[in-house]
């Protein structure tokens, strides 16, 4: 079973890179299997088909982001900066989300595999609004969406500029400060 779990994870890792690069339609099961050093039969046994493999990869990546980036409604600027840093370190997640929007879900909720955590965030924002920390005139869901989107301003989904880890530290610091100030002013 240990080898089976390792093979399954190698397939997920290989698929994340493949889907991030080529999208759902362009991804090839042959390349995923070769990269994972597994055979296609194993891929199909674990995931059924390419579509379900994408769903599993995307859900895993999104769930990891939700749990890795601590959310604090009392410090939305800090949350936005932490999200910027995590997306900078993991651009494949942003690319996966972009492909999902392009090839599958043109409207509505993109991923809601952890609804209890989303509800907790919205509840925390509502509480921060009641305590005067966050502007109470805004819907908590809109606040969460806008703060998250601001954090993605320099991500691979950006229409203007995509930041990378190779950019000078001074550029990242400037962006973090601009992001924190913008979030503070917009939602405080």
Q: What is the CATH number of the domain that holds 36?
A: 1.10.10.60
103-112 b/e (C-beta count within 10 Å ≥ 16 → b): eeeeeeeebe
Determine the pLDDT at residue 31.
97
Task: Select the more confidently predicted residue: 137 or 105.
Answer: 137
Q: Residue 153 above 70 pLDDT?
A: yes
% of the chain beyond a pLDDT of 70: 94
Joined together, the tokens standing for residue 65 give: 């982001």
CA distances from 55 to 64, 109, 131 (A): 14, 14, 38
Same domain, 82 and 138: yes
pLDDT band at 68 (very low <50, low <70, confident <90, very high): confident
Does 101 fall in a domain?
A: yes
Please state the pTM of the whole predicted model: 0.85
pLDDT of residue 112: 66
- Whole-angstrom distance, CA of residue 20 vs CA of residue 142: 27
Same domain, 164 and 108: yes
Handedness of CA 32, 38, 63, 180 (dihedral sign): negative
Which tokens is 107 given? 């409207």
- Do 131 and 168 sit in the same domain of this protein? yes
**Is residue 63 included in any domain, yes or no?**
no
For position 2, what pLDDT does the model report? 60
Which parts of the chain fold into alpha helices (H)? Answer: 2-26, 29-36, 40-47, 50-68, 76-89, 91-103, 115-130, 140-151, 169-187
57 touches 137 (CB < 8 A):
no
- What total number of domains does the chain contain? 2
Query: CA–CA separation, 157 vs 102, rounded Å?
Result: 11
Task: Tell me the CATH number at 181.
Answer: 1.10.357.10
Nearest to 42 by CA among 1, 2, 4: 4
Say whether both 73 and 46 belong to one domain.
Answer: no
Give pLDDT, residue 97: 85
User: How much is the mean pLDDT over the chain?
Assistant: 91
Domain encompassing residue 41: 1-57
Provide mean pLDDT across the span 45-72.
89
* Helix, strand, or coil (residue 166): coil
Q: Are residues 118 and 39 in the same domain?
A: no
For residue 97, the Cα-to-chain-centroid distance in whole angstroms is 7
- Do the domain assignments include residue 87? yes
Domain co-membership, 159 together with 106: yes
Q: What is the mean pLDDT of residues 142-157?
A: 93
- Phi/psi for 53 (5° steps) reads -65, -45
**Is 50 contained in some domain?**
yes
SS3 12: helix
How crowded is residue 177: how many other Cβ atoms within 10 Å of its Cβ?
Answer: 12
pLDDT score, position 98: 87
Regarding predicted confidence, which is higher, 81 or 59?
81
- Residue 10 inside a domain? The answer is yes
Answer whether residue 64 is part of any domain: no
Residue 1 has pLDDT above 60, yes or no: no
Same domain, 86 and 24: no
Average pLDDT rounded to a whole number, residues 62-91: 91
The whole-number pLDDT of residue 62 equals 82
């Amino acid at each position: 079973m240990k080898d089976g779990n390792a093979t399954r994870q190698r397939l997920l890792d290989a698929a994340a890179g493949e889907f991030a690069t080529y999208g759902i339609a362009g991804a090839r099961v042959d390349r995923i299997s070769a990269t994972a050093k597994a055979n296609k039969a194993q891929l199909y046994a674990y995931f059924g088909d390419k579509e379900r493999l994408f769903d599993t990869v995307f859900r895993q990546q999104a769930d990891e982001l939700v749990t890795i980036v601590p959310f604090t409604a009392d410090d939305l600027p800090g949350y936005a900066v932490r999200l910027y840093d995590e997306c900078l370190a993991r651009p494949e997640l942003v690319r996966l989300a972009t492909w999902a929007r392009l090839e599958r879900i043109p409207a509505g909720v993109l991923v809601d595999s952890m609804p209890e955590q989303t509800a907790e965030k919205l509840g925390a924002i509502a509480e921060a609004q009641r305590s005067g920390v966050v502007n109470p005139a805004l819907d908590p869901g809109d606040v969460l969406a806008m703060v998250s989107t601001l954090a993605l301003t320099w991500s691979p989904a950006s229409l203007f500029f995509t930041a990378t880890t190779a950019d000078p530290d001074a550029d990242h610091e400037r962006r973090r400060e601009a992001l924190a100030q913008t979030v503070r002013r917009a939602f405080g």
